[in-house]
């Protein structure tokens, strides 16, 4: 497999792990591979979120070959910029290969009262 393009790849860790939910939002199936985000802990209040926590890892999936239209639909779903921002992070695929991709990071209002 070729190394995923960081501009078209998204690490997901919450409700977007569900293929039916992804297809409902994006309108099509997308290819995925397992991945791990190191030094972030998964939490859940009203919404799933991650926060920096050295030594903890969060497992999820990489959504591959996303289009600008896919990101537009996902950004709406994640309620940018109110609930989340989309930022670049380093993740590791199942083979231990390091790569950069997008991830949805919670805003202060999302974290408020959840930790």
User: In this structure, which topology does domain 10-103 adopt according to CATH?
Assistant: Hypothetical upf0131 protein ytfp (3.10.490)
Q: What is the pTM of this model?
A: 0.94
Task: Provide the pLDDT for residue 3.
Answer: 83
- Measured CA distances, 45 to 20, 67, 95, 106 (Å): 22, 30, 31, 12
Amino acid 14: pLDDT? 95
**Residue 17's pLDDT is what?**
98
Q: Domain segments of the chain: what residues?
A: 10-103
pLDDT at 1 over 50: yes
Which tens digits make up the pLDDT trace of 24-61? 999 999 999 999 999 999 999 889 999 999 999 999 99
* Ramachandran angles phi, psi of 114, nearest 5°: -100, -20
């Amino acid at each position: 497999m070729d190394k995923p393009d960081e501009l078209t790849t998204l690490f997901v860790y919450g409700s977007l792990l569900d293929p039916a939910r992804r297809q409902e939002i994006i309108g099509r199936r997308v290819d995925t591979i397992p991945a791990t985000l190191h030094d972030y802990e998964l939490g859940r209040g009203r919404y799933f979120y991650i926060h920096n926590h050295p030594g903890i890892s969060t497992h999820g999936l990489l959504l591959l070959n996303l289009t600008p239209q896919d990101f537009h639909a996902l950004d709406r779903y994640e309620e940018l910029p109110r609930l989340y921002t989309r930022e670049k992070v380093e993740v590791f695929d199942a083979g231990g290969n390091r790569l950069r991709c997008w991830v949805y990071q919670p805003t202060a209002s999302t974290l408020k009262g959840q930790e």
